[in-house]
Structure 1
Amino acid sequence: MAAANRSSPVVVGLAGLLLLAGAAAAGRPVRALLVAPLATPLGLSALAFLAWCGISLAWSPLPGLSLRTLSEFLPALLGAYLVARLAPPHLAAVAGPSAWILVATCLYVVADLASGLVIREALGQRVAAFAFNRPLLTMMLLVLPLAALLAARGRRGLAALCLAAFAVAAWRSVSGATVLGLATGALTFCALRWLPARAGIGLAGAALLGALVLSPVEGDLLARAMPDALHQRLAASSTRARVAIARSFGAAVAEDPWRGAGYGTSGRFQDAPVAERLEPDLRVMLAVGHPHNSFLQVWAELGFVGAALAALVLVLALRSLGRWPALARSTALALLAAAGIVAFVEHGAWQAWWTAGVGAAIAWLRALALAGDLAPSASPVAEKP
């Protein structure tokens, strides 16, 4: 990703196919590993959400855009699923090399940023500091479970080095979302590490469900709550524009709250019929490509039904963590918090690079749970879709 920041879907897709071929050649129960989890309540809920995404194409005013978005998202999702299901038993053996690759990547990012991006220029790549935002966000997803797995296997020094190298790279970058995600994940891990399982899961669930429920009114709430002085201090983060975007998409949700405008329509939401029913000053920001809030994007494109299904998937996923070992559970909740806060302020919901990164992170989480002597046959690890 640091060398080519759109490469994660290809890497994860290829890894998934190789893992599938290897599992079949080794005689592993591939059907049980891939199909059985989809028959659980969590798997069925995830499939229902995906089905609603497909059904919404029936009323999408931009069917070409919807299909193109789906054609990018589904292959990345399939590759992520294959990796998350098939890779975990093998990851502990390569945790050390993976950590050194991550550290080296962080050093490369820091060095190139410090040099004014001369390495990117020499390689003929786009010379812009924000070009490292995607690889840094991908590493943010991976560093927490990787460091936890290293620590669980007694390699605390290397785990600390990974976290330190990534923290330096994140701080040196222009990606505020990466810093925010890392800080949120670290604080969540420290806060929940010693709490009872139910309390930790309840707090994390309340925060994530609150973000989902409040996202349609986020813009109005922030417009009332944020003073001009705070906007001026956060000018580099374009907070005024973000509030305006959230207000515009929130108004669109209010105009069509039940079914939404259709999957993938955020790319040209200004051309959707619902936009014509909004006041002129609210239409301008609909042309930005997506609401910079994945929770709000689900509401705008898939309506109340899509949001309810997403909430159900979230609740069932959180419930499945109840029987995980303490370290794996705390790491999973920290990762959910980090990914959730980034999804609340940053990218589009269906971007393939993010989907691939989440799948890789889930694979490392499941490897961590397996390292904690969690028996796959009797645990929610084997059920995670």
Structure 2
Amino acid sequence: MSQPRLPVGQEAVSTSSLLSTRLVAAGSVLMVLMPLAMWLANRSAPLMLGLGAMTFIAAAVAAGRAGEVVARLRSLLATPLGLALAAFLAWALLSILWSHRPAASLRAWAELVLPAVFALAIAASGRFRPQPAWLRALAVAIILASLLAMVELASGLSQRAELGIGKLMSFVFNRPAITALVLAVPTIHGLWHMPAARRSDRILAVLLGLTVAALALRSESASARLGVAVCLVCWVASAYWPRLMLTAAAIGLVLTMAMAPVLGLAAHNWLPSVILNRFAVMTGQARIDIWQSFGEVVRVRPIAGAGFGTSASMDRHPVAAEVAPEHRVLLGVGHPHDMPLQAWVETGAIGAGILLAAGLLLLARLRRLPAREMAPRLALFAAAFAISVVGHGAWQGWWIAVLGAGILWFGPGAAARQGEDHG
């Protein structure tokens, strides 16, 4: 006996709904696979986020919600934080006018903007929601990526050598280690506090935390180890003293941004040699020398900076001629190894001031959350900022994509609703 057919209109709606559901599932799988993709190719996060953005936007369009996407996007951009970030991107683009290599600066700007746009598109789509099943899958993916990285490190990268993929250098796992940390924070929080959380979920959350910490300790990334330590301390302290930790984070942000131009000079004069000697060459005196060299660039161009993306070839910038001869050589290392200092160098006091305002606005938004929700977000903010203070190039696409993914795993639906409330 034949099945009754749906009317043409209902059939179309059913097909669109099924397509939207499948696209959401595909996008969620892409988000889950990011840590494994970063283990295999440590710059792949923007690609995964971009593919995810395409699928989630397509899912919204298939569901007939394109108008809602546009409205949600406007609401997100109209928040004070959204306006501050947009202002920084606009000023960074304008500063390319006085770059000595405009084409290279424009590529650097695009590398920063594209992953930010991808993350914003996913949030605006309203399609990505970290359901318990996806959180469990992400936890397993992070653990698997971390274990694979540790196995390779223990074997001297023999697997990679046999397959002939990637660079045969142990530092290639620094980015995957940082990725694992950033994505683990919302995952652990989600597993622990999900409605009707099972004992197995909390065991998985503990295993995830231990595995990520083990990878940070095993890797060559001092930034990852610093991030894990800051994250743990801040998370625990915020759970007991949320207002105090928010105030401390705000003060630390202001002081760090304000001191960036004289960071090298201050570290050279005040940091005891007994502390410096505990670090590797590139994380000790050499890094302080780099900070001093780029700090001189800030003093030459304090207001508008040298132009966005110019750190990569600062030794060839006309401003290098105005730097003391003994500090010119280290202008060729590629970046200042410090995000606040890089913001000052490339975009001057104007760009650094806008970024500082954006950071304070973010902390102000966290202040409105209950302590249980605020603590992991503040911990991620503190860990990410600590990593950026000692890490490599500030605008790298993989870093922006990973941060965007970490924020999304806390729940973009909630973020979008807050944007609508405050738009």
TM-score range, shorter chain: over 0.9
Contact 2:150 2:218 in 1 (8 A): yes
Alignment-derived partner of residue 93 in structure 2: 54
1:328 partnered with 2:373: yes
Are residues 35 and 201 of structure 1, via their aligned partners in 2, closer, same or farther at CA, if it must alter by over 3 Å? same
Q: 200, 213, 230: which is aligned to 1:184?
A: 230
What amino acid sits opposite 1:246 in the alignment?
W
Q: 129, 133, 150: which is aligned to 1:90?
A: 129
Q: How far apart, in 1, do the equivalents of 2:123 and 2:229 lie?
A: 25
Alignment-derived partner of residue 39 in structure 2: 2
Contact 1:110 1:169 in 2 (8 A): yes
Contact 2:239 2:372 in 1 (8 A): yes
Q: How far apart, in 1, do the equivalents of 2:60 and 2:421 lie?
A: 16
What amino acid sits opposite 2:239 in the alignment?
R
For structure 1, which runs of at least 5 residues remain unmatched after alignment?
Answer: none
How far does residue 87 in structure 1 lie from its aligned partner after superposition?
6.4
1:117-132 to 2 correspondence within 5 Å?
A: 117-125=157-165, 126-132=167-173
Moved more, 74-83 or 87-96: 87-96
What amino acid sits opposite 1:96 in the alignment?
R
Partner SS state of residue 204, structure 1: helix
Contact 1:184 1:338 in 2 (8 A): yes
How far does residue 63 in structure 1 lie from its aligned partner after superposition?
0.9
Alignment-derived partner of residue 180 in structure 2: 139
1:37 partnered with 2:76: yes
How far does residue 138 in structure 1 lie from its aligned partner after superposition?
1.2
How far does residue 89 in structure 1 lie from its aligned partner after superposition?
4.7
Alignment-derived partner of residue 168 in structure 1: 214
Alignment-derived partner of residue 396 in structure 2: 351
For structure 2, which runs of at least 5 residues remain unmatched after alignment?
Answer: 1-37
How far does residue 288 in structure 1 lie from its aligned partner after superposition?
0.5
Q: How far apart, in 2, do the equivalents of 1:364 and 1:45 lie?
A: 23
Moved more, 176-185 or 219-228: 219-228
Contact 1:117 1:127 in 2 (8 A): yes
Q: How far apart, in 2, do the equivalents of 1:349 and 1:166 lie?
A: 23
Are residues 383 and 178 of structure 1, via their aligned partners in 2, closer, same or farther at CA, if it must alter by over 3 Å? farther
How far does residue 376 in structure 1 lie from its aligned partner after superposition?
5.9
1:288-345, Cα deviation, whole Å (9 max, x unpaired): 0000101100000000100111111111111111222322211111001100011000
1:99 partnered with 2:139: yes
Question: TM (normalized to structure 2)?
Answer: 0.85
Moved more, 71-80 or 337-346: 71-80
Q: How far apart, in 2, do the equivalents of 1:350 and 1:129 lie?
A: 23
1:69 partnered with 2:108: yes
Whose radius of gyration is greater, 1 or 2? 2
Alignment-derived partner of residue 250 in structure 1: 295
What amino acid sits opposite 1:78 in the alignment?
V
1:212-291 to 2 correspondence within 5 Å?
A: 212-291=257-336
Partner SS state of residue 351, structure 2: helix
Q: How far apart, in 2, do the equivalents of 1:96 and 1:78 lie?
A: 27
How far does residue 381 in structure 1 lie from its aligned partner after superposition?
8.8
What amino acid sits opposite 1:19 in the alignment?
F
How far does residue 88 in structure 1 lie from its aligned partner after superposition?
7.4
Q: How far apart, in 2, do the equivalents of 1:380 and 1:200 lie?
A: 24
1:319 partnered with 2:364: yes
How far does residue 237 in structure 1 lie from its aligned partner after superposition?
4.6
Are residues 272 and 114 of structure 1, via their aligned partners in 2, closer, same or farther at CA, if it must alter by over 3 Å? same
Alignment-derived partner of residue 57 in structure 2: 20
Alignment-derived partner of residue 116 in structure 1: 156
How far does residue 227 in structure 1 lie from its aligned partner after superposition?
3.1
How far does residue 383 in structure 1 lie from its aligned partner after superposition?
6.1
1:365-384 to 2 correspondence within 5 Å?
A: 365-366=410-411, 377=417, 379=418
How far does residue 232 in structure 1 lie from its aligned partner after superposition?
2.4
1:64-101, Cα deviation, whole Å (9 max, x unpaired): 21112123222222112223444675212410111111
Alignment-derived partner of residue 339 in structure 1: 384
Q: How far apart, in 1, do the equivalents of 2:356 and 2:62 lie?
A: 38
Q: How far apart, in 1, do the equivalents of 2:152 and 2:341 lie?
A: 35
Question: TM (normalized to structure 1)?
Answer: 0.93
How far does residue 55 in structure 1 lie from its aligned partner after superposition?
0.9
How far does residue 375 in structure 1 lie from its aligned partner after superposition?
9.2
How far does residue 42 in structure 1 lie from its aligned partner after superposition?
1.6
Contact 2:79 2:422 in 1 (8 A): yes
How far does residue 216 in structure 1 lie from its aligned partner after superposition?
0.8
Relative contact order, higher structure (CA 8 A, sep 6+): 1
How far does residue 140 in structure 1 lie from its aligned partner after superposition?
1.3
1:179-233, Cα deviation, whole Å (9 max, x unpaired): 110111110011111224x433221111122211111111001001223333222
What amino acid sits opposite 1:95 in the alignment?
L
Q: How far apart, in 1, do the equivalents of 2:186 and 2:317 lie?
A: 40
Alignment-derived partner of residue 19 in structure 2: none
Alignment-derived partner of residue 209 in structure 1: 254
1:13-35, Cα deviation, whole Å (9 max, x unpaired): 11011111112222331112222
What amino acid sits opposite 1:69 in the alignment?
A
Query: How many residues of Structure 1 are paired with residues of Structure 2 in the alignment?
Result: 377
Are residues 10 and 213 of structure 1, via their aligned partners in 2, closer, same or farther at CA, if it must alter by over 3 Å? same
Contact 2:130 2:411 in 1 (8 A): no
Q: 187, 190, 195: which is aligned to 2:241?
A: 195
> What is the root-mean-square deviation of aligned Cα atoms in Å?
1.9
Contact 1:33 1:85 in 2 (8 A): yes
